Structure 1
């Protein structure tokens, strides 16, 4: 099982330092979340910067809220980032669950699933070269696409349009979600198996209090905010235990989403997973 590193949003100007440290370490992927009405850096712009600061590590949106964006421009941006990074880009997508994000972009949250399906059909067509919108992505057919999901209709979307699953659920729920994704994949007649990428929230040592405050603020809109704070992993033993659980479930990669802003977290987490 590979390990990825989710980047904090609290100090955007430090992210090139995080990226360079991760590029020299054991991590396969760098992930960055997406919001509109929040004090976070825009992920496609930021990952383009990090692509130039790295040579090996993959770059991943985790997850980009696709229904808030126009599909032709999004397809062009994703293809450009994939091309300029030498095929190192993974487009992680979701529908967006915050009403303020949809209000700010003038999109209807009630139509978000239908919109995402239509976007994927259009973007696949663009990446194939059918509409004359370039550049062609480095990855044939377009960058790898993963979907974050919980409900069955969203999990079925992985088989229709995606390459794999971004699972932000704890191990006790993830097994059932993995099984559903694999069943929908088989029912759709897809070859092979979907990539399974899990995610846990982490912070080690001196950053724990800062990280708890950051994650509480981020999930303040949700009734699950307290659970997210309490579920954050704060010791090497907890990280190793979660890694073992997800490896046993068949995860291909575990993203360690760090909420502390100290770049020293990269080395601490690298020591845990090495």
Structure 2
């Protein structure tokens, strides 16, 4: 498995200035991936901003959003944002996308939760048109520079429509931030959808795991807080899965390898940058 680390962009009241410094330290430590966690109605730093900051200060590490709430954005604007980040990074962005489930994350007028799946399917067509340099806004101009590539996409979600979307448009699937025993069936569903769609090879399967080594209790509180809007049961379950010791990290690596994960991204429960080295010492 390729091993990555998430930036703490959605730790409550994160210090935004830590994001570029975190990205630099993570690349220097040898992580293959830098990830983000995405919500809009939460006091953090947006995926696009964190990814752009990381793109500007790194040169080797892949950048992945896990996952960005695509259906909350006007499609041409998001496509332009992603193309710019990818260009700044030198072609290192892989965008993980989902439609979103929390109603308060749908902040833009006209982009509410109702009908988001069908809207997002149309948006994916628009992404490709923008990235190909087709004119936007009814005028003669493209939104992106010549030479812009189509940004590789991964998809998250649990519904059959999400799996079909992944198989049609994506390079793979991003699992939920849950133990391998819960994620395994979704990896299987993603692989089945891939085969039904007649795709060659196998999909990329990305696992997400929370960790907090310097202050495990603070990490669990932060993750509980982040997921509380999804219900106390969900918040408790995800917080309980935070890896707060080397033994739990090693268990996560083993269990996700057993279910076929191609990549694993350890998302931080705190913005303690010393946790980068603590994690690297165990998993790299």
- The TM-score normalised by the length of structure 1 is 0.94
SS of 2:229's partner is: coil
Between stretches 164-173 and 129-138, larger displacement belongs to 129-138
SS of 2:81's partner is: helix
Q: CA deviation at 1:104?
A: 5.5
Q: CA deviation at 1:136?
A: 4.6
Contact 1:34 1:40 in 2 (8 A): no
2:25 is the alignment partner of 1:58 = no
State the partner residue of 1:125: 129
State the partner residue of 1:215: 223
State the partner residue of 1:258: 268
SS of 1:90's partner is: strand
Q: CA deviation at 1:74?
A: 1.0
Q: CA deviation at 1:128?
A: 2.4
Contact 2:209 2:242 in 1 (8 A): yes
State the partner residue of 2:203: 194
CA distance in structure 2 between the partners assigned to 1:175 and 1:50 by the alignment? 30
SS of 2:215's partner is: helix
User: How many residue pairs end up in the alignment?
Assistant: 271
Contact 2:102 2:230 in 1 (8 A): no
CA distance in structure 2 between the partners assigned to 1:105 and 1:134 by the alignment? 25
How large is the Cα RMSD of the aligned pairs?
1.5
State the partner residue of 2:138: none
C-alpha spacing 1:230/1:38, structure 2 compared with 1 (3 Å): same
CA distance in structure 2 between the partners assigned to 1:127 and 1:103 by the alignment? 25
Between stretches 99-108 and 86-95, larger displacement belongs to 99-108
CA distance in structure 2 between the partners assigned to 1:34 and 1:66 by the alignment? 10
SS of 1:109's partner is: coil
State the partner residue of 1:170: 179
Which of 9, 19, 23 pairs up with 1:19?
23
Contact 1:71 1:122 in 2 (8 A): yes
- The TM-score normalised by the length of structure 2 is 0.91
CA distance in structure 1 between the partners assigned to 2:212 and 2:147 by the alignment? 35
Contact 1:83 1:135 in 2 (8 A): no
